[in-house]
């Protein structure tokens, strides 16, 4: 009998929906207060997850839910990077 491996779920800070961790993009704030996109999911620091949809990124930007969650100012480059990552995923 195969044991069902538990899939780690994470909540999207923009939409509030739960998704498997692998279907999310992690944004992390380091101890120094630097905000970056963490594609490995292993960077140290406070993390927040966003769904891999342009709608979620747009919502996160409008509501500043990433900034609130990470307690940091989110540079516009982070949102641009998220959009590039999502667009690249669509092409696969």
Q: Indicate which CATH number applies to the domain containing 49.
A: 3.30.1230.10
Residue 69 in any domain: the answer is: yes
Beta-strand runs (E) in 12-84: 18-20, 24-29, 35-38, 46-51
Which pLDDT score is estimated for 1? 59
In-domain check, residue 82: yes
- 9-11 and 18-20: which strand pairing? antiparallel
Domain range holding 61? 9-91
Total structural domains within the chain: 1
Is 21 domain-assigned?
yes
Residue 72 lies in a domain: yes
pTM confidence score:
0.89
pLDDT, tens digit, 9 for 90 and up, residues 7-37: 899 999 999 999 999 999 999 999 999 999 9
């Amino acid at each position: 009998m195969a044991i069902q491996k538990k899939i780690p779920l994470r909540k999207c800070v923009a939409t509030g929906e739960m998704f498997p961790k692998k279907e999310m993009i992690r944004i992390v704030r380091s101890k120094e207060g630097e905000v970056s996109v963490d594609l490995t999911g292993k960077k140290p620091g406070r993390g927040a997850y966003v769904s891999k949809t342009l709608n979620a990124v747009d919502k996160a930007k409008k509501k500043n839910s990433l900034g609130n969650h990470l307690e940091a100012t989110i540079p516009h480059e982070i949102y641009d990077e998220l959009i590039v990552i999502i667009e690249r995923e669509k092409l696969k």
